[in-house]
Amino acid sequence: MSVSSSGAQAKPRRLIESRSIDYIPDSERHGRVFSQFTLWFGGNLQITAIITGALSVVLGGDVVWSLIGLLAGQIIGAAVMALHAVQGPRLGLPQMITCRIQFGIYGAVIPLLLVCVMYVGFSASGTVLAGQALAHLTGVSDRTGMVLFAAVIIVVATLGYRLIHGLGKVASVVGVVAFCYLFVRLLLENDVGQLLANRHFSLPMFLLAISLSSSWQIAFCPYVSDYSRYLPRNVSGRSTFLAVFSGTVLGTQASMTLGVMAAALAGDAFSGNEVGYIVGLGSSGMTALALYFAICFGKITFTTLNAYGSFMSMATIVSGFRKSAAISERARLLFIVVMMVVSCTIAILSEPSFLKSFTQFLLFLLAFFVPWSAMNLTDYYFITRGQVDIPALSDPDGRYGRWNWPGILTYALGVLVQLPFVANGFYQGALVGWFDGNDISWLIGWVFTALCWLGVSQLRRQPTHQLSSR
């Protein structure tokens, strides 16, 4: 086993994270696996998840089958996501740097640039919702609320890993209190039994619900192991998987369930007034202010994950050409500030119609991450079996090379095979009619790419070398 080129000496613990995309040595590993549960549970108790779940009803589904479909999608998507999370403690690396194994040091820029666009977009949409809530909470304009929210994200993302996990714990408590209160008010003041009695199964709407929730979970795959890489190496993969899986499924399903019921009760009054309607469930006055605070706090966690993940991806791109994994704290701050300035600008300038179209574009981008996920997991669990030459990840002349053309071509095929089955407001595939206009491209793309990459790797079988799992 070779020695890591970036982690030979441990650095003292401090609040401001000093590591970036470099390997985390054993002496700096810390934390408990339960922090993975609180991060993904608390982070998913938030307004965007509520609105996403509500779409299953807004677009024509009933309550019961929407909830069942959403849960089925959670389980499928969260299983894929949690398999990525297991890589963190084993490799001590953030997620996206490992795609250099499949794409090459320079070739990895392809998925990295796309994931940066997704981070910026999701941060922009989150900034709009959080800015509106912060505006109600502080009495400022929506635009000022967005700017204040962006400033908070810059501070938290710059401080890094420890503070992010701390916020995850607090967000779990705040989210549970707020959601329990909203559910109680909803159950006491509305005839929920009448909603549940409406059970008209529709295959297109059921598939839509599955796609909404599975896409939500798959969107986390490019950065999930960023937040597990500091865990001690001896943490079992099963424990890590279960903590992430259960946290993200329970948190997201709770949010989406509230969204489904709220949208069914509100009817046309929900769309365009999502934040106001949800807060209205909890009455007015100080209670409403507390709920606006809970909404802002819930958005801080995941918008910070987006900003932090964007920094990791940009650092991975730059370091590939510099042949070094080290990134200075000044460069770290610069990456995060630029990302949030761009996100905040999009949020401020966006009209509601543009933001809706932009969200459809971001969902379309998921078609480009499904084949990456399939290749990454297939490689880790079935081909390299977790054995990674970490020094070679920063060496364009090393075993992974500059451009891994078989990997890049497999990825391209994985994207192309999905396009006929993509169905959203940004793009409609030619074969979506086979599935009543529903988007199942993610399922076709994942299975096809995984099998294709496994076959390509078998054809390129080479003598096994001793690699480092560090």
User: How does DSSP classify residue 129?
Assistant: H
Nearest-CA neighbor of 50 among 211, 268, 244, 279? 279
Query: What is the pLDDT averaged over residues 366-390?
Result: 91
Q: How far apart are CA 219 and CA 230, in angstroms?
A: 22
Amino acid at position 106, single letter: Y
For residue 441, give Cα distances in angstroms to 80, 83, 204, 426, 434.
Answer: 15, 20, 14, 14, 12
Q: How far apart are CA 235 and CA 381, in angstroms?
A: 17
- Quote the pLDDT of residue 405: 95
Higher pLDDT, 271 or 202: 202
Nearest-CA neighbor of 335 among 129, 128, 111, 160? 160
Q: What does the pLDDT look like over 217-264, one tens digit per residue?
A: 998 999 899 889 989 999 999 999 999 999 999 999 999 998 898 888
Higher pLDDT, 54 or 417: 417
- Quote the pLDDT of residue 470: 45
Least confident span in 15-24, 169-178, 433-442, 452-461: 15-24
CATH class of 30-459: mainly alpha
**450 touches 374 (CB < 8 A):** yes
Residue 8 pLDDT level (bands cut at 50, 70, 90): very low
pLDDT above 70 (res 278): yes
- Quote the pLDDT of residue 467: 44
- Quote the pLDDT of residue 352: 63
pLDDT above 70 (res 40): yes
% of the chain with per-residue pLDDT over 90: 31
pLDDT above 90 (res 33): yes
- Quote the pLDDT of residue 64: 93
Amino acid at position 60, single letter: G
**Domain residue limits, the chain:** 30-459
In sequence order, the 6+-apart residues with CB closer than 8 A to the CB of 111 are 96, 99, 103, 222, 368, 369, 372, 411
- Quote the pLDDT of residue 10: 45
Residue 125 pLDDT level (bands cut at 50, 70, 90): confident
- Quote the pLDDT of residue 175: 82
Higher pLDDT, 100 or 330: 100
Least confident span in 105-119, 204-218, 240-254, 258-272: 258-272
Q: What does the pLDDT look like over 296-339, one tens digit per residue?
A: 787 888 788 888 888 888 888 888 777 666 667 777 788 888 88
pLDDT above 50 (res 1): no
Residue 465 pLDDT level (bands cut at 50, 70, 90): very low
Q: Indicate the burial class of 8 (C-beta count within 10 angstroms; 0-12, 13-18, 19 or more).
A: exposed
Q: How far apart are CA 135 and CA 157, in angstroms?
A: 22
Nearest-CA neighbor of 35 among 165, 160, 161? 165
pLDDT above 70 (res 273): no
Query: What is the pLDDT averaged over residues 407-421?
Result: 95
Residue 189 pLDDT level (bands cut at 50, 70, 90): confident
- Quote the pLDDT of residue 468: 43
- Quote the pLDDT of residue 211: 85
Which H helix or E strand runs over 168?
helix 161-189
- Quote the pLDDT of residue 86: 96
- Quote the pLDDT of residue 354: 55
Q: What does the pLDDT look like over 426-451, one tens digit per residue?
A: 788 888 888 777 788 888 999 999 99
Average pLDDT, the chain: 83
Location of structure tokens 């690396």? 93
Q: Over 192-214, what HEC string results?
A: HHHHHCCCCCCHHHHHHHHHHHH
Q: How far apart are CA 368 and CA 226, in angstroms?
A: 20
**What phi, psi does 418 have (nearest 5°)?**
-80, -30
**453 touches 375 (CB < 8 A):** yes
Calculate ∠ Cα 51-41-250, nearest 5°. Answer: 75
- Quote the pLDDT of residue 270: 67
- Quote the pLDDT of residue 9: 46
**108 touches 92 (CB < 8 A):** no
Which H helix or E strand runs over 280?
helix 274-280
Runs of H (alpha helix) within 323-440: 329-349, 352-378, 405-418
Q: How far apart are CA 260 and CA 245, in angstroms?
A: 22
Q: How far apart are CA 373 and CA 445, in angstroms?
A: 10
Paired strand residues for 428? 423
Q: Indicate the burial class of 311 (C-beta count within 10 angstroms; 0-12, 13-18, 19 or more).
A: buried
Location of structure tokens 């994994």? 325
pLDDT above 70 (res 115): yes
Longest dimension (CA), the chain: 69
**282 touches 301 (CB < 8 A):** no
Q: How far apart are CA 317 and CA 320, in angstroms?
A: 5
pTM: 0.86
Residue 358 pLDDT level (bands cut at 50, 70, 90): low
Please tell me the total number of residues recorded for the chain in this structure: 470
User: How does DSSP classify residue 4?
Assistant: P
